[in-house]
Amino acid sequence: MLNKNNRSFFKSLDYGLLIILAVILAVSLVVLSTASTNVIPSDPYYYVRKQVIMIISGIIIAAFIAAIDYEHWRKINWWIYGFNILLLSLVFVIGSTAKGAQRWIPVFGDFNIQPSEFAKILLIVTFAHFLANRKDNLNNVRDFIPPLLFVLPPTLLVFLQPDLGTALVFAAIFIGMMFVAGANPWKFGAIVVGSLAIAIGAVFFHFAKDLPWPLSYLEGLPLPLEDYQLARLLVFIDPAADQSGAGYHVIQSVWAIGSGGLWGKGYREGTQAQLNFLPEHHTDFIFSVIGEEFGFIGTSIVLFLFCIFLLRMISIAMKSRDDFGLLIVAGFVSMLTFHILVNVGMASGIMPVTGIPLPFITAGGSSMWANMMGVGLVLSVAMRRERPMF
């Protein structure tokens, strides 16, 4: 029988959020069952089974985290931060390399974990504590320096793997949480826009030729990025310029989405995915499969579900009992929003290709577990809006 605390736990759950999440996870299994059919021809349901395992284990993780008062994490804040740095550093010592990046730590057999995925959630928790102590004291440029220095070490460790996409997610988390924490919108906004302008300018001068003096001195400006990273970032501007190389992914993705029309070609009827013309169609470009087989209606439904999910979490954040809870949810919302916008934009050919997964839908164990950790934290905040349960 359930004791009083167990009954209180189930009574306090935000069932609206859970129902929306359940629908998104169901969509994930349906889409993966068609997107991954030809990835391993001898075992067409391999990724579906793996996703089911990750979802079930992720639910257990989320329930465990939700049962703990999120305020407890403040007591071990610096231990969590240190563990985050250690975990990201271990990648360079015992990590395995794949696709030109050293991002995974082997656990057993062919099962690996990607520390950078968990690092996002750990950063959100620790940065929320850091900002909660400085809320409404972020009015001047010098006030922005300590938060930046706090986020910089884990961001650099991820960038050096190299994992530019996740490093950009860290930046999105930083910006979103800073605004929610009360950073002066004009001063901080100007810094963000200025930094973006500098980055764009640096890329321009890196490729520029025959510029007039004195700009000619900036031609070939060195950048801390590999050539393949630059190619993937810029290919969305003109995919046709490299149809057989970096532009191939984007061209196939846009064709897949465009060919779906209003209602799509039908379940398992998409030629780009089923014939393996579309690369990474069970991971990075899974949104393209949705567009091809389920059309504009299918993609709209998925985006609508994500919007409702995010709005529900924003509502939870607004009702949080303290700034720490507010900032935790704000960080997770910032992370998911950036993931969704970039992944959908990447698949649609309007944003750079950065390898950022579509939350809860893309096949990936570490990503699913990290997202479920975030859900557990949000539920913990939602369950304790008025008073602690235990």
* Residue ranges in the chain modelled with pLDDT below 70: 1-9, 97-102, 109, 241-242, 244-246, 386-390
CB 323 within 8 A of CB 303: no
At residue 388, the pLDDT reads 44
The rounded distance, in Å, linking the Cα atoms of 259 and 289 is: 11
Residues 147, 341, 309, CA angle at the centre, nearest 5°?
90
- The model's pLDDT over 13-39, given as tens digits with 9 standing for 90+, comes to 889 999 999 999 999 999 999 998 888
Type of residue found at 299? T
pTM reported for the whole predicted model: 0.93
The DSSP H or E segment spanning 89 is: helix 77-94
- The model's pLDDT over 34-85, given as tens digits with 9 standing for 90+, comes to 998 888 888 889 999 999 999 999 999 999 999 999 999 999 999 999 999 9
At residue 387, the pLDDT reads 47
At residue 210, the pLDDT reads 78
At residue 18, the pLDDT reads 96
The rounded distance, in Å, linking the Cα atoms of 83 and 123 is: 11
Residues 206, 211, 216, CA angle at the centre, nearest 5°?
70
The rounded distance, in Å, linking the Cα atoms of 331 and 328 is: 5
At residue 255, the pLDDT reads 92
The rounded distance, in Å, linking the Cα atoms of 88 and 156 is: 10
Biggest distance spanned by C-alpha atoms of the chain: 81
Q: What is the DSSP string of 228-280?
A: HHHHHHHGGG-GGGGTTTHHHHHHHHHHHHHHTTTT-S-TT--HHHHTT-STT
At residue 390, the pLDDT reads 37
The rounded distance, in Å, linking the Cα atoms of 256 and 222 is: 36
Type of residue found at 109? G
Type of residue found at 17? L
At residue 230, the pLDDT reads 78
Identify the burial level of 1 via C-beta atoms within 10 angstroms of its C-beta, where 0-12 means exposed, 13-18 middle and 19 or more buried: exposed
Give the closest residue to 9 by CA, choosing from 60, 72, 67, 62.
67
Type of residue found at 98? A
CA distances from 181 to 120, 126, 131, 307, 322 (A): 18, 14, 6, 23, 12
Count of residues in the chain: 390
Pairing of the two strands 111-113 and 101-108: antiparallel
The rounded distance, in Å, linking the Cα atoms of 80 and 77 is: 5
